[in-house]
Amino acid sequence: MDYREFFSRFRYLSERPGIGGRIKVFPEDFVVVEEPLPQIFEGGKHAVFLLKKRNWETMAAVKEIAKRAEIRHSDIGFAGTKDRHAVTYQYISVPARAREKVEGVQIRDIELRFVSYGKFIKLGYLVGNRFRIIVRDVNGEAFERTREIVGELREKGGFPNYFGYQRFGERRVTNHLIGKLLLQGDFEGAARLFLGAHEGEMEGDEARRRFWETGDVDRALEEFPNFLRYERAMLHRYKETGSWKRAFLGLPLPIMRIFIHSYQSYLFNLYISRRIEEGLPLNEALVGDIVVQVKGGIPYRDRTYRVTETNVDFVNEKIRKNQAMVSGPLFGFAMRRARGLPGRLEGEILEGEGLSPEDFKRLPKQMAEPGGRRELLIRPLGLTYGYVPGQGMCLRFFLPKGVYATSVLREIMKDH
Protein backbone atom coordinates (compact mmCIF):
# COMPACT_ATOMS: atom_id res chain seq x y z
CA MET A 1 0.00 0.00 0.00
CA ASP A 2 1.46 3.38 -1.01
CA TYR A 3 0.69 6.68 0.67
CA ARG A 4 -2.00 7.61 -1.88
CA GLU A 5 -4.00 4.48 -1.11
CA PHE A 6 -3.41 5.03 2.62
CA PHE A 7 -4.66 8.64 2.51
CA SER A 8 -7.73 7.76 0.45
CA ARG A 9 -9.43 6.72 3.72
CA PHE A 10 -9.34 10.32 5.04
CA ARG A 11 -12.10 12.70 3.91
CA TYR A 12 -11.51 15.99 2.15
CA LEU A 13 -13.10 19.02 3.79
CA SER A 14 -13.64 20.93 0.54
CA GLU A 15 -16.20 19.56 -1.90
CA ARG A 16 -14.95 21.18 -5.12
CA PRO A 17 -12.75 19.20 -7.55
CA GLY A 18 -9.00 19.65 -7.22
CA ILE A 19 -6.47 20.94 -9.73
CA GLY A 20 -4.44 17.69 -9.90
CA GLY A 21 -0.81 18.14 -10.91
CA ARG A 22 2.53 17.15 -9.41
CA ILE A 23 4.79 18.65 -6.77
CA LYS A 24 8.55 18.30 -6.28
CA VAL A 25 9.22 17.64 -9.97
CA PHE A 26 12.40 19.65 -9.34
CA PRO A 27 13.86 20.51 -5.92
CA GLU A 28 13.43 24.20 -6.73
CA ASP A 29 9.65 23.63 -6.94
CA PHE A 30 9.50 23.20 -3.15
CA VAL A 31 11.27 25.95 -1.21
CA VAL A 32 11.14 26.01 2.60
CA VAL A 33 12.49 28.87 4.72
CA GLU A 34 12.61 28.35 8.48
CA GLU A 35 11.58 31.09 10.88
CA PRO A 36 13.43 30.38 14.15
CA LEU A 37 12.75 31.49 17.68
CA PRO A 38 14.63 34.79 18.26
CA GLN A 39 16.22 33.28 21.38
CA ILE A 40 18.61 31.16 19.29
CA PHE A 41 20.65 34.33 18.64
CA GLU A 42 21.22 34.97 22.36
CA GLY A 43 24.45 33.88 24.06
CA GLY A 44 27.86 33.22 22.63
CA LYS A 45 28.88 29.60 23.13
CA HIS A 46 27.74 28.49 19.68
CA ALA A 47 28.10 29.78 16.15
CA VAL A 48 24.79 29.96 14.29
CA PHE A 49 24.82 29.30 10.54
CA LEU A 50 22.13 29.49 7.89
CA LEU A 51 22.17 26.17 6.06
CA LYS A 52 20.86 26.05 2.51
CA LYS A 53 20.55 22.56 1.11
CA ARG A 54 19.23 21.00 -2.08
CA ASN A 55 18.24 17.33 -2.28
CA TRP A 56 19.69 16.55 1.16
CA GLU A 57 17.99 15.05 4.19
CA THR A 58 18.67 17.23 7.23
CA MET A 59 20.36 14.51 9.28
CA ALA A 60 22.50 13.36 6.35
CA ALA A 61 23.60 16.96 5.74
CA VAL A 62 24.42 17.47 9.43
CA LYS A 63 26.52 14.30 9.55
CA GLU A 64 28.44 15.27 6.41
CA ILE A 65 29.12 18.78 7.75
CA ALA A 66 30.32 17.29 11.06
CA LYS A 67 32.60 14.85 9.23
CA ARG A 68 34.20 17.59 7.11
CA ALA A 69 34.56 19.97 10.08
CA GLU A 70 35.93 17.18 12.31
CA ILE A 71 33.32 17.56 15.04
CA ARG A 72 30.67 15.20 16.40
CA HIS A 73 27.33 15.37 14.63
CA SER A 74 25.67 15.55 18.05
CA ASP A 75 27.47 18.91 18.53
CA ILE A 76 25.37 20.37 15.70
CA GLY A 77 21.95 21.63 16.75
CA PHE A 78 18.94 22.21 14.53
CA ALA A 79 15.28 23.00 15.14
CA GLY A 80 13.61 20.51 12.80
CA THR A 81 14.04 18.22 9.83
CA LYS A 82 13.24 19.53 6.37
CA ASP A 83 12.11 17.86 3.15
CA ARG A 84 14.83 16.14 1.15
CA HIS A 85 13.55 16.71 -2.41
CA ALA A 86 13.44 20.47 -1.95
CA VAL A 87 15.51 23.60 -1.48
CA THR A 88 15.45 24.43 2.21
CA TYR A 89 16.89 27.12 4.48
CA GLN A 90 17.33 26.41 8.18
CA TYR A 91 19.55 27.42 11.08
CA ILE A 92 22.13 25.17 12.69
CA SER A 93 24.42 25.76 15.66
CA VAL A 94 27.98 24.48 16.11
CA PRO A 95 30.47 24.98 18.94
CA ALA A 96 32.00 28.46 18.66
CA ARG A 97 35.48 26.93 18.38
CA ALA A 98 34.39 25.14 15.18
CA ARG A 99 33.25 28.28 13.34
CA GLU A 100 36.25 28.58 11.03
CA LYS A 101 36.26 24.89 10.10
CA VAL A 102 32.53 24.95 9.32
CA GLU A 103 33.00 28.12 7.24
CA GLY A 104 35.60 26.23 5.22
CA VAL A 105 33.36 23.24 4.51
CA GLN A 106 32.51 22.76 0.84
CA ILE A 107 29.84 20.20 -0.06
CA ARG A 108 27.88 19.96 -3.28
CA ASP A 109 24.34 21.38 -2.98
CA ILE A 110 25.04 22.69 0.53
CA GLU A 111 25.79 26.32 1.44
CA LEU A 112 26.67 27.59 4.91
CA ARG A 113 26.64 31.25 5.97
CA PHE A 114 27.62 32.42 9.44
CA VAL A 115 24.89 34.58 10.97
CA SER A 116 25.84 35.28 14.59
CA TYR A 117 26.79 33.69 17.87
CA GLY A 118 23.99 32.24 19.94
CA LYS A 119 22.82 29.14 21.80
CA PHE A 120 22.64 25.46 20.95
CA ILE A 121 19.57 24.97 18.74
CA LYS A 122 17.29 22.21 20.00
CA LEU A 123 14.45 20.47 18.20
CA GLY A 124 11.37 22.66 18.28
CA TYR A 125 13.24 25.97 18.48
CA LEU A 126 11.26 27.48 15.61
CA VAL A 127 8.07 29.44 15.03
CA GLY A 128 7.26 27.84 11.70
CA ASN A 129 8.20 27.73 8.02
CA ARG A 130 7.55 29.79 4.90
CA PHE A 131 6.81 27.87 1.70
CA ARG A 132 6.97 28.62 -2.01
CA ILE A 133 5.61 25.67 -3.96
CA ILE A 134 5.08 25.03 -7.68
CA VAL A 135 2.36 22.56 -8.71
CA ARG A 136 3.18 21.42 -12.26
CA ASP A 137 1.12 19.67 -14.95
CA VAL A 138 -2.07 21.62 -14.31
CA ASN A 139 -4.37 23.18 -16.91
CA GLY A 140 -5.70 26.70 -17.41
CA GLU A 141 -8.56 26.10 -14.97
CA ALA A 142 -6.13 25.67 -12.06
CA PHE A 143 -6.26 29.28 -10.87
CA GLU A 144 -10.06 29.47 -10.79
CA ARG A 145 -10.34 26.07 -9.08
CA THR A 146 -7.75 27.09 -6.49
CA ARG A 147 -9.66 30.31 -5.84
CA GLU A 148 -12.91 28.37 -5.32
CA ILE A 149 -11.31 25.79 -2.99
CA VAL A 150 -9.53 28.44 -0.91
CA GLY A 151 -12.74 30.46 -0.67
CA GLU A 152 -14.75 27.41 0.42
CA LEU A 153 -12.20 26.47 3.06
CA ARG A 154 -11.99 30.00 4.40
CA GLU A 155 -15.73 29.78 5.03
CA LYS A 156 -15.18 26.46 6.82
CA GLY A 157 -12.40 27.89 8.98
CA GLY A 158 -9.30 26.50 7.27
CA PHE A 159 -7.70 23.36 5.85
CA PRO A 160 -7.95 20.05 7.75
CA ASN A 161 -4.79 19.69 9.82
CA TYR A 162 -3.95 16.14 8.77
CA PHE A 163 -0.49 14.80 9.49
CA GLY A 164 1.25 14.48 6.11
CA TYR A 165 2.46 11.30 4.45
CA GLN A 166 5.99 11.98 5.71
CA ARG A 167 4.77 10.85 9.14
CA PHE A 168 3.87 7.36 7.94
CA GLY A 169 6.42 6.53 5.24
CA GLU A 170 6.02 7.49 1.60
CA ARG A 171 7.02 4.13 0.11
CA ARG A 172 6.41 1.66 2.94
CA VAL A 173 3.40 2.98 4.84
CA THR A 174 4.01 0.87 7.95
CA ASN A 175 5.16 3.16 10.77
CA HIS A 176 1.68 3.46 12.30
CA LEU A 177 1.09 -0.30 12.08
CA ILE A 178 4.37 -0.97 13.87
CA GLY A 179 3.34 1.54 16.54
CA LYS A 180 0.04 -0.26 17.12
CA LEU A 181 1.80 -3.63 17.50
CA LEU A 182 4.18 -2.09 20.04
CA LEU A 183 1.22 -0.71 22.00
CA GLN A 184 -0.30 -4.19 22.00
CA GLY A 185 2.96 -5.62 23.36
CA ASP A 186 3.62 -7.63 20.19
CA PHE A 187 7.32 -6.84 19.80
CA GLU A 188 7.94 -9.85 17.57
CA GLY A 189 5.16 -8.81 15.19
CA ALA A 190 6.42 -5.23 15.19
CA ALA A 191 9.97 -6.38 14.44
CA ARG A 192 8.77 -8.67 11.65
CA LEU A 193 6.93 -5.76 10.02
CA PHE A 194 9.79 -3.28 10.51
CA LEU A 195 12.33 -5.70 9.05
CA GLY A 196 10.21 -7.50 6.48
CA ALA A 197 7.79 -5.01 4.90
CA HIS A 198 8.81 -4.50 1.26
CA GLU A 199 7.65 -3.15 -2.08
CA GLY A 200 9.88 -5.24 -4.32
CA GLU A 201 11.64 -2.45 -6.23
CA MET A 202 14.31 -0.88 -4.02
CA GLU A 203 17.68 -2.27 -2.97
CA GLY A 204 17.22 -4.55 0.03
CA ASP A 205 13.55 -5.33 -0.68
CA GLU A 206 14.30 -8.87 -1.83
CA ALA A 207 16.18 -9.52 1.42
CA ARG A 208 13.25 -8.04 3.34
CA ARG A 209 10.85 -10.34 1.48
CA ARG A 210 12.88 -13.41 2.40
CA PHE A 211 12.97 -12.38 6.05
CA TRP A 212 9.19 -11.81 5.97
CA GLU A 213 8.72 -15.36 4.65
CA THR A 214 11.34 -17.19 6.72
CA GLY A 215 12.20 -15.12 9.80
CA ASP A 216 15.82 -16.27 9.30
CA VAL A 217 17.92 -13.75 11.27
CA ASP A 218 21.32 -15.10 10.18
CA ARG A 219 20.41 -14.95 6.51
CA ALA A 220 19.00 -11.46 6.95
CA LEU A 221 22.30 -10.29 8.44
CA GLU A 222 24.09 -11.70 5.41
CA GLU A 223 21.72 -10.12 2.90
CA PHE A 224 20.56 -6.80 4.37
CA PRO A 225 22.56 -3.92 2.77
CA ASN A 226 24.76 -1.89 5.12
CA PHE A 227 22.64 1.26 4.60
CA LEU A 228 19.84 -0.48 6.53
CA ARG A 229 21.81 0.31 9.66
CA TYR A 230 18.89 0.38 12.13
CA GLU A 231 17.53 -2.90 10.78
CA ARG A 232 20.95 -4.53 11.03
CA ALA A 233 21.44 -3.15 14.55
CA MET A 234 18.13 -4.70 15.58
CA LEU A 235 19.07 -8.08 14.09
CA HIS A 236 22.43 -8.06 15.90
CA ARG A 237 20.73 -7.08 19.16
CA TYR A 238 18.24 -9.93 18.78
CA LYS A 239 21.08 -12.41 18.24
CA GLU A 240 22.74 -11.16 21.43
CA THR A 241 19.63 -11.20 23.63
CA GLY A 242 17.10 -13.54 22.00
CA SER A 243 14.47 -10.87 22.73
CA TRP A 244 12.68 -8.75 20.13
CA LYS A 245 11.68 -6.35 22.91
CA ARG A 246 15.30 -5.74 23.82
CA ALA A 247 16.15 -5.49 20.14
CA PHE A 248 13.66 -2.63 19.77
CA LEU A 249 14.90 -0.93 22.95
CA GLY A 250 18.42 -1.00 21.49
CA LEU A 251 17.40 1.44 18.76
CA PRO A 252 18.06 5.19 19.23
CA LEU A 253 15.24 6.81 21.19
CA PRO A 254 14.07 9.08 18.31
CA ILE A 255 13.69 6.03 16.05
CA MET A 256 11.74 4.08 18.69
CA ARG A 257 9.38 6.97 19.26
CA ILE A 258 8.67 7.48 15.54
CA PHE A 259 6.42 4.43 15.53
CA ILE A 260 4.27 5.50 18.50
CA HIS A 261 4.03 9.07 17.18
CA SER A 262 3.02 7.74 13.77
CA TYR A 263 0.19 5.72 15.29
CA GLN A 264 -0.97 8.73 17.32
CA SER A 265 -0.95 10.70 14.05
CA TYR A 266 -3.01 8.05 12.29
CA LEU A 267 -5.66 8.16 15.04
CA PHE A 268 -5.70 11.97 14.91
CA ASN A 269 -6.22 11.89 11.13
CA LEU A 270 -8.98 9.34 11.64
CA TYR A 271 -10.65 11.67 14.16
CA ILE A 272 -10.68 14.61 11.73
CA SER A 273 -12.03 12.40 8.95
CA ARG A 274 -14.78 10.95 11.16
CA ARG A 275 -15.75 14.43 12.33
CA ILE A 276 -16.11 15.57 8.70
CA GLU A 277 -18.02 12.39 7.83
CA GLU A 278 -20.49 12.89 10.68
CA GLY A 279 -21.02 16.55 9.85
CA LEU A 280 -19.47 17.85 13.08
CA PRO A 281 -17.85 21.26 12.53
CA LEU A 282 -14.09 21.78 12.73
CA ASN A 283 -14.34 25.56 13.19
CA GLU A 284 -17.10 25.62 15.78
CA ALA A 285 -16.77 24.27 19.33
CA LEU A 286 -19.34 21.82 20.64
CA VAL A 287 -20.08 21.26 24.32
CA GLY A 288 -17.37 18.84 25.50
CA ASP A 289 -14.71 19.98 23.02
CA ILE A 290 -11.22 20.99 24.12
CA VAL A 291 -9.96 24.18 22.47
CA VAL A 292 -6.43 25.55 22.23
CA GLN A 293 -5.46 29.19 22.63
CA VAL A 294 -4.20 31.08 19.56
CA LYS A 295 -1.96 34.18 19.56
CA GLY A 296 -0.84 35.90 16.38
CA GLY A 297 -2.09 32.98 14.32
CA ILE A 298 0.09 30.51 16.29
CA PRO A 299 -1.72 27.79 18.31
CA TYR A 300 -0.41 27.13 21.85
CA ARG A 301 -1.20 23.44 22.28
CA ASP A 302 -0.27 23.43 25.97
CA ARG A 303 -2.93 26.06 26.74
CA THR A 304 -6.29 24.30 26.52
CA TYR A 305 -9.70 24.70 28.08
CA ARG A 306 -12.92 22.70 28.01
CA VAL A 307 -16.12 23.89 26.36
CA THR A 308 -19.21 23.80 28.59
CA GLU A 309 -22.83 24.82 28.18
CA THR A 310 -22.09 28.05 30.01
CA ASN A 311 -19.03 29.15 28.00
CA VAL A 312 -19.76 27.72 24.51
CA ASP A 313 -20.92 31.06 23.04
CA PHE A 314 -17.93 32.89 24.51
CA VAL A 315 -15.54 30.25 23.12
CA ASN A 316 -17.05 30.33 19.65
CA GLU A 317 -16.67 34.10 19.60
CA LYS A 318 -12.97 33.56 20.39
CA ILE A 319 -12.78 31.06 17.51
CA ARG A 320 -14.36 33.58 15.12
CA LYS A 321 -11.74 36.14 16.19
CA ASN A 322 -8.96 33.56 15.57
CA GLN A 323 -8.07 33.55 19.28
CA ALA A 324 -8.88 29.85 19.78
CA MET A 325 -9.21 26.65 17.76
CA VAL A 326 -11.01 23.35 18.28
CA SER A 327 -8.56 20.52 19.01
CA GLY A 328 -8.42 16.79 18.41
CA PRO A 329 -6.76 13.96 20.34
CA LEU A 330 -3.12 12.91 20.31
CA PHE A 331 -3.96 9.85 22.36
CA GLY A 332 -1.84 9.12 25.42
CA PHE A 333 -2.15 8.20 29.08
CA ALA A 334 -2.30 11.82 30.29
CA MET A 335 -4.24 13.40 27.40
CA ARG A 336 -7.06 15.77 28.31
CA ARG A 337 -10.10 13.96 26.92
CA ALA A 338 -13.14 15.60 25.34
CA ARG A 339 -16.69 14.97 26.54
CA GLY A 340 -20.12 15.06 24.90
CA LEU A 341 -20.29 14.23 21.17
CA PRO A 342 -16.54 14.86 20.59
CA GLY A 343 -15.72 12.63 23.57
CA ARG A 344 -17.96 9.86 22.23
CA LEU A 345 -16.14 10.00 18.90
CA GLU A 346 -12.74 9.82 20.61
CA GLY A 347 -13.89 6.80 22.61
CA GLU A 348 -15.26 5.04 19.52
CA ILE A 349 -11.97 5.45 17.69
CA LEU A 350 -9.93 3.96 20.54
CA GLU A 351 -12.43 1.14 21.11
CA GLY A 352 -12.41 0.38 17.39
CA GLU A 353 -8.65 -0.09 17.62
CA GLY A 354 -9.00 -2.31 20.70
CA LEU A 355 -7.03 0.13 22.86
CA SER A 356 -7.40 2.37 25.91
CA PRO A 357 -5.42 5.47 27.03
CA GLU A 358 -3.65 3.30 29.64
CA ASP A 359 -2.04 1.24 26.86
CA PHE A 360 0.19 4.23 26.10
CA LYS A 361 1.59 3.94 29.65
CA ARG A 362 2.17 0.18 29.51
CA LEU A 363 4.88 0.70 26.95
CA PRO A 364 8.51 0.49 28.04
CA LYS A 365 9.41 3.69 29.89
CA GLN A 366 11.38 5.07 26.93
CA MET A 367 8.32 4.82 24.67
CA ALA A 368 5.52 5.78 27.10
CA GLU A 369 3.51 8.60 25.58
CA PRO A 370 1.43 11.09 27.63
CA GLY A 371 -0.34 12.48 24.55
CA GLY A 372 -1.83 15.93 24.06
CA ARG A 373 -4.10 18.00 21.84
CA ARG A 374 -3.69 19.41 18.33
CA GLU A 375 -5.78 21.93 16.43
CA LEU A 376 -8.14 20.48 13.81
CA LEU A 377 -7.60 23.18 11.20
CA ILE A 378 -4.69 24.76 9.34
CA ARG A 379 -4.94 28.48 8.73
CA PRO A 380 -2.04 29.32 6.39
CA LEU A 381 -0.83 32.87 6.96
CA GLY A 382 -0.22 35.13 3.96
CA LEU A 383 -1.60 32.59 1.47
CA THR A 384 -1.17 33.82 -2.11
CA TYR A 385 -1.32 31.92 -5.37
CA GLY A 386 -1.01 32.52 -9.09
CA TYR A 387 -0.63 30.70 -12.39
CA VAL A 388 2.87 30.93 -13.90
CA PRO A 389 2.87 30.07 -17.65
CA GLY A 390 5.25 27.23 -18.44
CA GLN A 391 5.46 26.17 -14.79
CA GLY A 392 2.07 25.82 -13.11
CA MET A 393 0.39 27.07 -9.94
CA CYS A 394 2.67 28.88 -7.52
CA LEU A 395 1.55 29.03 -3.89
CA ARG A 396 3.18 30.93 -1.01
CA PHE A 397 2.23 30.72 2.67
CA PHE A 398 3.49 30.42 6.24
CA LEU A 399 2.66 27.53 8.59
CA PRO A 400 3.35 27.09 12.33
CA LYS A 401 5.77 24.34 13.31
CA GLY A 402 4.48 20.79 13.15
CA VAL A 403 1.98 21.58 10.37
CA TYR A 404 2.34 19.98 6.94
CA ALA A 405 2.36 21.93 3.69
CA THR A 406 1.44 18.71 1.87
CA SER A 407 -1.86 18.67 3.79
CA VAL A 408 -2.67 22.15 2.44
CA LEU A 409 -1.79 20.99 -1.06
CA ARG A 410 -3.86 17.80 -0.70
CA GLU A 411 -7.10 19.80 -0.50
CA ILE A 412 -6.14 21.92 -3.52
CA MET A 413 -4.82 19.07 -5.69
CA LYS A 414 -7.14 16.23 -4.56
CA ASP A 415 -4.44 13.80 -5.70
CA HIS A 416 -4.63 11.33 -2.78
Closest CA to 138 of 17, 267, 256, 273: 17
Residues 6+ apart with CB under 8 A from 174: 168, 193, 194, 197
Q: What percent of the chain has pLDDT over 70?
A: 99
Q: What percent of the chain has pLDDT over 90?
A: 79
CA distance 329 to 331: 5
83 is catalytic: yes
pLDDT of the residue at 1: 66
Q: Please, is 331 exposed, middle or buried when counting C-beta atoms within 10 Å of its C-beta (0-12, 13-18, 19+)?
A: buried
Domains, the chain, in order of start with CATH, read 3-23+136-161+379-413 (no CATH), 27-128 (3.30.70.3160), 175-251 (1.10.1510.30), 279-375 (3.30.2350.20)
CA distance 23 to 20: 10
Residue of 2, 29, 75, 83 marked catalytic: 83
Asked whether residue 159 carries a pLDDT value surpassing 80, the answer given is yes
The predicted-structure confidence for 30-54, as pLDDT tens digits, reads as follows 999 999 999 999 988 999 999 999 9
With CA atoms as reference, report the closest residue to 375 among 287, 275, 279: 275
Alpha-carbon distance 287 to 274, whole Å?
18
Query: Measured in Å, how far apart are the chain's first and last C-alpha atoms?
Result: 13
pLDDT of residue 306: 96
Which of 67-76, 200-209, 294-303, 386-395 comes out lowest in average pLDDT? 200-209
Tell which residue, 130, 113, 129, 124, has the closest CA to residue 39.
124
| pLDDT per residue as tens digits for the range 201-258 | 677 788 999 999 999 999 999 999 988 989 999 999 999 999 999 998 888 888 888 8
Residue pLDDT, tens place only, 364-383: 888 888 999 999 999 999 99
Per-residue model confidence (pLDDT) at position 271: 98
pLDDT digits (tens, 9 = 90+) for 295-314: 988 899 989 999 999 999 99
HEC readout, 76-130: CEECCCCCCCCEEEEEEEEEHHHHHHHHCCCECCEEEEEEEEECCCCCCCEEEEE
What pLDDT does residue 115 have?
97
